[in-house]
Amino acid sequence: MDVNNPRAATVDLPTPSVGPPADTGHVGALSKLAPEPARYVLNWGRRYSLWVFNFGLACCAIEFIATSMARHDFIRLGVIPFAPGPRQADLMVVSGTVTDKMAPAVRRLYEQMPDPKYVISFGSCSNSGGPYWDSYCVTKGVDQIIPVDVYVPGCPPRPEALLQGILKVQDKIAAESLGDRYPGSPPEREPLRKRLSAKALLRPLIGPKDHDDVA
């Protein structure tokens, strides 16, 4: 925004704070309580339906588009590009140089995405500042403002590199448990327990185990 124009600065949202993200929101009761086989199925669903929000900033955005085009076509993998907005996206690909002026917007859009969300940092600039490592206005790595799951190196990386990055994210999703990813997120629910009878409470700690302690 134009800081010199006092009239201009009225419609902006407050600047989000910079730091590791607070545990916001909840990811649905299913994910926390799901037993192992169900979790496998649910992870399968999440893994093959990654709607991408392309944070196209610079040169890498063109390679991102190239990846979605006919020759490389990551839509094969269930990655749907050009998700309408951050609210519908699962995966954010930060492709390009994040400047200090842009950083709050990156952060805000990340926060607008619903959990569980993943971030691929695509290209040297968003990994570490890249060729702008000594610039006065470039954020040296997007991981300073949002957590990054997969880094794809290159300047710009080839489309194949992005495909590999997406496969890495998919592997990561397949292996994870949402409860572990968001440890504090849903209010800790006590596992459902059957009510204990008074007799069970009075049962000696050591002794022959009786099976009717649960009423």
Partner 1 sequence: MIVQALGVRTVDDLSEFGTDPWWLSLIKAVLIFVFLLLLTLFNIWFERRVVARMQHRAGPNKNGPFGLLQSLADAMKLMLKEDIMVKAADRLLYVLAPVISVIMAFLAFAVIPFGPVVDVPFTDRQTPLQLTDLPVGVLFVIAVASVGIYGIVLGGWASGSTYSLLGGMRSTAQVISYEVAMSLALVAVFLYAGSLSTSEIVNAQQRLWYALILLPSFIIFWVSMVGETNRAPFDMPEAEGELVAGYFTEYSSMKFAMFFLAEYINMVTVSAVATTLFLGGWRAPWPLSLWDGANAGYWPVLWFLAKVMMFMFVFVWLRGTLPRVRYDQFMALGWKVLIPVALLWTVAVATIRAMTLDGGLDRRVLVGGALVAVLLFLLLSIVGERAPKEEPEAEEQPFDPFAGGYPVPPMPGQRLPRPEPAGVVPGGAQPDQEDDTARRSATEEGD
Partner 2 sequence: MAEERVVGVGAGAAGFGGYDRGGGEPGGLATQDMVLNIGPQHPATHGVLRLRITLDGERIVGCEPIVGYMHRGVEKLFEVRDYRQIIVLANRHDWLSAFSSELGVVMAVERMLGMEVPERAVWARTLLAEMNRALNHLMFLGSYPIELGAITPIFYAFRERETLQQVMEEISGGRMHYMFNRVGGLKEDLPAGWLDRASAAVAAVRRRVPQIEDLIFGNEIFLARTRGVGTISPELISAYGVSGPIARASGVDFDLRRDEPYLAYPELAEEGVLRVTTGEDGDCHSRFGMLLEQVSVSLDLADACIARLRSLPQGPINQRLPKILKAPEGATYCWTENPLGINGYYLVSRGEKTPWRLKLRSASFNNIAVLPEVLRGCVVADMIAILGSMFFVVGDIDK
Residues that bind partner 1 (CB under 8 A): 2, 4-5, 7-8, 25-28, 30-31, 41-42, 44-49, 51, 69-70, 73, 75-78, 80, 82, 84-85, 87-88, 90, 112, 114-116, 178
CB of 146 to partner 2, least distance (A): 14
Separation of alpha carbons 129 and 29, rounded Å: 39
Residues of span 104-133 touching partner 2 by CB under 8 A: 105, 109, 131-132
Read off the DSSP letter of residue 3. Answer: T
In what helix (H) or strand (E) does residue 93 lie, and over which residues does it extend?
A: strand 91-95
Size of the site for partner 2 (CB under 8 A): 38
Q: Give the other-Cβ count within 10 Å of 50's Cβ.
A: 23
By CB under 8 A, name the one of 33, 78, 114, 158 that touches partner 2. 158
CB of 25 to partner 1, least distance (A): 4
Positive or negative torsion for Cα 205, 207, 208, 212: negative
Positive or negative torsion for Cα 102, 108, 110, 113: negative
* Residue 152 φ then ψ, to 5°: -110, 115
The per-residue DSSP string of 109-122 comes to HHHHSPSS-EEEEE
C-beta closer to partner 1: residue 91 or 142: 91
In this chain, which stretch among 34-42, 153-161, 184-192, 193-201 interacts with partner 2, using CB under 8 A?
Answer: 153-161
Q: Give the other-Cβ count within 10 Å of 63's Cβ.
A: 22
CB of 75 to partner 1, least distance (A): 6
Residues forming contacts to partner 2 in the complex (CB under 8 A) are: 1-2, 4-8, 11, 55-59, 61-63, 65-66, 69-71, 82, 97, 99, 101-102, 105, 109, 131-132, 134-138, 155-156, 158
